[in-house]
Amino acid sequence: MKEEKKIFVTKATLPPKEEFLEYVDKIWESAWLTNMGDVHNKLEDTLSKFMDDMDIVLTVNGHLALELALQSLKIEGEVITTPFTFASTTHAIVRNGLKPVFCDIKEDDFTIDPEKIEKIITKDTKAIMPVHVYGNVCDVEAIESIAKKHGLYVVYDAAHTFGERYKGKSVADFGDMSIFSFHATKVFNTIEGGAIALRDKDRRKSLDFLKNFGIADKENVPYVGSNAKMNEFAAAMGLCNMKHLPEYIEKRKRICELYIERLSDIKSIRLNKYNDDTTYNYAYFPIVVEKGSRDELYDKLAKENIFARKYFYPCTNAYECYSENFDPNETPIALDISKKVLTLPIYPDLEEADVERICSVIRREL
Ligand SMILES: Cc1ncc(COP(=O)(O)O)c(C=O)c1O
């Protein structure tokens, strides 16, 4: 029997090669490879315009964007966040010497439950780091009012949300800062890369220093910084991909619509809740297996050469490295969903026939 082609959960989105090579030629001529060159600065401007003239600080990846965003706050104590996220969110808090305090999530869109935030605020709470999981925008209004009432910073992990708008505004324009990931697997990629979008322009300078070892100029080093600079080739990939972003998102949207059409009548699974106020980027397609076994479905799909992902499993508060620190039972909804969720393959080049194949296996098995 002929083996079915392999379908992976994601695939990097590449611009036409010639467009990238044009930049490569220019970079070669200039011999300026990194340290905030022309291409880096052009991408920063392009992204700033794209995000309603927000201040944008490019970084080498989304994780260091998170670490530096937190470092720039100069806080000590506790940060309220959720465990239903990628390792990066929790690690960034811990690696800053701060204590993550986990709030549970909402069942329908997997984002932080604002109704549970106030109960876990203590005198040591300094910030909230919510995650726009899968591109689902958090309840930004409720979070803002809690943060205002208690004098807390808000840093959004917006790694999944690049290109989205909420009530007509760029998704970057909420909280004190939002961080984005431009990893190869994301909707928009710079191979590896990330950005911090700032609402408070005064913070810009310190972030520019922090991403360059804390160096202000040749003789002054006011911060213990890191090396988080985006190089010119990564920025070139970003400029090329930006040209094609609307087309990438449109193709993802069509795939999502097809999944919804084919899966919404299957009683044993639950689909993501979409909100009319959000213009989505269709980064992920999660399903929650409510009846039957998520793990068995995952294995059955893998047997058919379809590689979905248990994303996010385990919750970060269940990680081995935190076994002495946290108890995942304190966030029962996140724990439950982490055991039932699967994200299905989605990327612009995924063919309609592939979606049909994936859906027919799911229908057969559930
Ligand atoms: C929610 C979340 N936060 C942070 C990151 C870190 O981004 P990066 O991989 O660019 O370092 C990711 C990356 O996948 C993510 O999914």
Residue 181 CA to ligand 1 center (angstroms) comes to 5
For the chain, domains (ranges, CATH) are 7-11+245-365 (3.90.1150.10), 17-239 (3.40.640.10)
| Residue 1 pLDDT exceeds 90 | no
Q: Which of 70, 133, 136, 183 is the pocket-test mutation for ligand 1 (most atoms within 8 Å of CB)?
A: 183
Q: How far is the CA of 96 from the centre of ligand 1 (A)?
A: 17
| Portion of the chain with pLDDT greater than 70, in percent | 99
From 253, 196, 174, select the one nearest 47 (Cα to Cα). 196
Number of neighbouring beta carbons within 10 Å of residue 337: 24
Sign of CA dihedral 217, 218, 222, 223: positive
pLDDT single digits (tens) 134-166: 999 999 999 999 999 999 999 999 999 999 999
The CA–CA distances, whole Å, from 163 to 47, 85, 197, 251, 273 equal 10, 20, 12, 14, 19
- The Cα 107–Cα 312 span in angstroms is 14
Q: Would the pLDDT of 133 be above 80? A: yes
pLDDT recorded at residue 283: 98
186 noted as active-site residue: yes
Verify whether ligand 1 is closer than 6 Å to residue 62 (CB atom).
Answer: yes
Is the Cβ–Cβ distance between 185 and 206 less than 8 Å? Answer: no
pLDDT digits (tens, 9 = 90+) for 290-315: 999 999 999 999 999 999 999 999 99
Is residue 201 over pLDDT 90?
no
Of the candidates 45, 41, 116, 57, the residue with the CA atom closest to the CA atom of residue 81? 116
- Convert the pLDDT of each residue in 89-106 to its tens digit: 999 999 999 999 999 999
**pLDDT computed for residue 296 by the predictor:** 97
Q: Which residue has the tokens 């890369």?
A: 193
Q: d(Cα 344, Cα 358) in Å, to the nearest integer? A: 8
Catalytic member of 186, 211, 229, 340 = 186
